Amino acid sequence: MSDVKEIAEIPSFTVKLSIRRFDPEKSEEASWQEYEVEMHATDRVLDALHKIKWEQDGSLTFRRSCAHGVCGSDAVRINGRNRLACKTLIKDLDINSTITVEPIKGLPVEKDLIVDMNPFYQAYKDINPFLVANDKPEKERLQSPEDRARYDDTTKCILCAACTTSCPVFWTDGQYFGPAAIVNAHRFIFDSRDEEADVRLDILNDKEGVWRCRTTFNCTEACPRGIEVTKAIAEVKQAILRGRP
Amino acid sequence: MSVQIEIPNSPRKQRVTNWEKYGWLYMRISGPLLIVLIFTHVFVNLFTGEGIKQIDFAFVAGKWADPFWQWWDVAMLWLALIHGTLGMRTVINDYTEKPKLRTALVGTLWSVSGALILLGTLVVFTFDPCPPTSNPDLLPSFCEAIASS
């Protein structure tokens, strides 16, 4: 079998990355550090971060788990926009200029690209993100495809915090529930099997609830799962005005 | 080994009156109303009759002698000032990080806006279209009838 075609080589290029570094044990100030790496067109920003960590600077710190856009650990701000490092191909960015990578905004930075996610999770916990149903059916609770479709979009959330930390209201008002918590409330408010929609609507009808939203659409643009976040928030607002889902 | 279960969250306390909801609703209702009020106002003043040339003291005095236009202008004044104040309040909330400064700025904003609303309303309803010592040529036509009676 000599006529097997050789697999074409994947084109490679050198790319400059400027990464926001912060180490509280060394300095109180964060600073930019530049790296140059040889990357392939099939590589993602996460691969570049790995390459830097493994080959150039082992002190670079960032979160990642599944590395395939499912776990939501590696949300970072790339070229000023919140994205998942594992879902952003380097070739899709402008490789002729330096690519900036910094931690997501509005949450306290712990080290380099790692932020304290606790305030984010607290807002999520506050909306009771679990099904509340008091009946005890013999079998599973049935739901029509139409009823399931009602909240399908908001089931896609992976809690990466890309939306909440792209929200200008959240940047200055850390008490605001934020888009992600509202999206996850939406997922239960519009679930026909759930019985506590009114409680959740009441929780979000707060000074720091849905009314803080100013429909800037940053969250919708930032969502790596393509959830129509601003639309979900608007639906929750309407449900509060109606007094029911 | 027993498993430590996190203490469930205590539900957030709901305030008695939630002004945020009413603020939000106010912006949505006053916006379209203002569009109608302001554009009709601009149309009546600048396009009907002699257009822009007609606007002088007599024209304004003539309009404010009619309760319809008095209420029209007062509605514009109240709706627009509160709409603008709510918008400015949002800007202040966005850009001030110190709670005391925020309270002071929002307090000043509401005081100024309240004073303007009061003054404006007072002017519209206590306006004298025929001040006795003025040049009669500058006054609305009905002043002569009032003066001679």
Note the pLDDT tens digit of each residue in A206-224. 888 999 998 999 999 999 9
* Residue in B closest to A127 by C-alpha: B11
Percent of chain B with pLDDT over 90: 48
A20 and A88 within one domain: yes
- Amino acid identity at A240: I
Task: State residue A207's pLDDT score.
Answer: 82
B28 at interface of A, judged by CB pairs closer than 8 A = no
Tell whether the model's pLDDT for residue A90 goes beyond 80.
yes
Asked, for residue A208, whether it belongs to a domain, the answer is yes
> What is the distance between the alpha carbons of residues B1 and B122, in angstroms, rounded to a whole number?
76
pLDDT level of residue B132 (50, 70, 90 thresholds): confident
Tell whether the model's pLDDT for residue B31 goes beyond 80.
yes
User: Any idea what the CATH number is for the domain that residue A82 is in?
Assistant: 3.10.20.30
Q: With CA atoms as reference, report the closest residue to B109 among B124, B121, B95.
A: B95
Cβ-nearest to B12 among A169, A206, A240 = A206
Per the prediction, chain A carries an average pLDDT of: 93
Pinpoint the alpha helices (H) of chain B. Answer: 19-46, 57-64, 67-95, 99-126, 142-148
A236 and A137 within one domain: yes
A213 and A197 within one domain: yes
Given A89, A115, A141, which residue is the final one in a domain? A115
A163 and A141 within one domain: yes
pLDDT level of residue A71 (50, 70, 90 thresholds): very high
Contacts across the A-B interface (CB distance below 8 Å): 41
Domains and CATH numbers, chain B: 20-148 (1.20.1300.10)
pLDDT level of residue B14 (50, 70, 90 thresholds): low
A155 and A194 within one domain: yes
* Residue in B closest to A201 by C-alpha: B14
A168 and A108 within one domain: no
A132 and A62 within one domain: no
Comparing A119-128, B16-25, B70-79, the range with the smallest average pLDDT is: B16-25
Measured between beta carbons, the chain B residues lying within 8 angstroms of A240 are 21
Given A88, A115, A142, which residue is the final one in a domain? A115
Please, what is the end-to-end C-alpha distance for chain A in angstroms?
66
User: What order do you get walking across the sheet with A99-102 strand by strand?
Assistant: A31-40, A12-21, A99-102, A75-78, A81-84
Asked, for residue A170, whether it belongs to a domain, the answer is yes
Cβ-nearest to B20 among A168, A203, A211 = A211
> What is the distance between the alpha carbons of residues A216 and B94, in angstroms, rounded to a whole number?
13
Task: State residue B141's pLDDT score.
Answer: 78
Query: Domain limits at A84?
Result: 12-115
Task: State residue A237's pLDDT score.
Answer: 96
Cβ-nearest to A172 among B18, B23, B94 = B94
User: Any idea what the CATH number is for the domain that residue A205 is in?
Assistant: 1.10.1060.10
Given A115, A139, A160, which residue is the final one in a domain? A115
* Residue in B closest to A167 by C-alpha: B94
A125 and A99 within one domain: no
Q: How many CB atoms lie within 10 A of CB B128?
A: 11
Measured between beta carbons, the chain A residues lying within 8 angstroms of B12 are 126, 203, 206
Tell whether the model's pLDDT for residue B2 goes beyond 70.
no
The string over A158-182, giving b where at least 16 C-beta atoms fall within 10 Å of a residue's C-beta and e elsewhere, is bbbbbbbbbbebbbebeebbbbbbb
Q: At what angle do helices B19-46 and B67-95 cross, to 10 degrees?
A: 130
Q: How many domains does chain A have?
A: 2
Residue pair B20/A207 in contact by the 8 Å Cβ criterion: yes
A148 and A75 within one domain: no
A136 and A55 within one domain: no
A231 and A195 within one domain: yes
Task: State residue A10's pLDDT score.
Answer: 80
ipTM over 0.90: no
Task: Please state the rounded mean pLDDT for residues B116-141.
Answer: 86
Task: Please state the rounded mean pLDDT for residues B18-34.
Answer: 92
Asked, for residue A2, whether it belongs to a domain, the answer is no
Report for A4-18, A217-231, B48-62, B83-97: range of highest mean pLDDT: A217-231
Judged on CB neighbours under 10 Å (0-12, 13-18, 19+), A35 is buried
